[in-house]
Each structure stands twice: as structure tokens, then as C-alpha cells.
Copies of this chain bind each other. A is one copy, B any other.
């Protein structure tokens, strides 16, 4: 029977750092697990499935709040699932909005890049000049619209 895990087992199997598991517990996404005599956390299949669920949601870039919401719905199996759809649709909207913003950004960036096809000295570089004088102060930019973000390495 593979239905008793310590935190490291679970972490290895689901390819997630142990600290992240503890963090999810701290954040109330995972329940406080049973403990061994030596105070080690012990997980069963239910917790493993719950963590799998959470990780899938994170892979889809949902916030922990969105995931909490879905977990609550999942914990009330008799309810209708219209609300599940609503959460998902909202999140699809977040991603769509971010794509829209980034596409705008990409256009602006390529426009800026085109100002220096013939590299000279930076004093005369069209890129640096463009960055110093674009219309930004009033508005017209694509910044600051809805949809939560993501952060990556490098």
C-alpha cells in the first residue's frame, strides 16, 4: 500500500519542494496532517490528490485565492457546478487580458527597436532618444489593466 507518505515522499512524487507543501498548509489549502511520534507530517491518498489538484491549478496560473475557491466547491460535492464554471471563466478572462496587454507591448517594443537599425554612438541612438521622449506622462499606454501576473527566473 502506497497510501502513507512523509513530506519528502510526497514532494518527490509530485515534483514539488517540501517547503511549498508546508506553505500550502500554512495558507490553508492543505489541511493540517497527522503526525508521527517524532512529529513528522504524515499524508494519505486524500491529501495527495488534493495537492495534485492544487498543482494543476497552479500550472494553469490560477492564484491561491482562485484555488481556495475551487477547493471549497470541490469540498461541497452536492452543489451544482455553475460556480466552478464561473471561476474558470473569470480566470480565462485574466489570461486573455494579459495576452492582450503583452501583444500591445510587443508592438511598442518592435516599434522602438526599429529606431536603431544602424547602430551609432549611444548619444544619437534612436532607442535611447525614444525612451526619453515617448508620450507616457498623460496616458495612452496599455499598462495597468486587470489579470493577475506571473514571475519567472533569470
Give residues in A with beta carbon < 8 Å to B: 13-15, 49, 52-53, 55-57, 59-61, 70, 73-74, 76-82, 84-85, 88-89, 91-92, 95-96, 98-99, 101-103, 105-106, 108-110, 112-113, 116, 119-125, 127-128, 130-134, 136-138, 141, 143-154
Given A49-B132, A79-B121, A132-B52: A84 and B116 interface contact (C-beta under 8 Å): yes
* A77 neighbours in B (Cβ, 8 Å): 121-123
Number of copies: 2
Q: Which applies to chain A's interface (DSSP): helix, strand, loop or mixed?
A: helix
Instruction: Please state if B92 and A131 are interface contacts (CB–CB under 8 Å).
Output: no
* A137 neighbours in B (Cβ, 8 Å): 13-15, 52, 55
| A74 shortest CB reach to chain B, Å | 5
Instruction: Please state if A96 and B92 are interface contacts (CB–CB under 8 Å).
Output: no
* A153 neighbours in B (Cβ, 8 Å): 144, 146
Instruction: Please state if B136 and A52 are interface contacts (CB–CB under 8 Å).
Output: yes
- A81 interface neighbour in B105, B122, B136, B138, Cβ under 8 Å: B122
- A80 interface neighbour in B85, B122, B148, Cβ under 8 Å: B122
- A105 interface neighbour in B61, B121, B123, B131, Cβ under 8 Å: B61
Instruction: Please state if B70 and A131 are interface contacts (CB–CB under 8 Å).
Output: yes
* A85 neighbours in B (Cβ, 8 Å): 113, 116, 119, 127
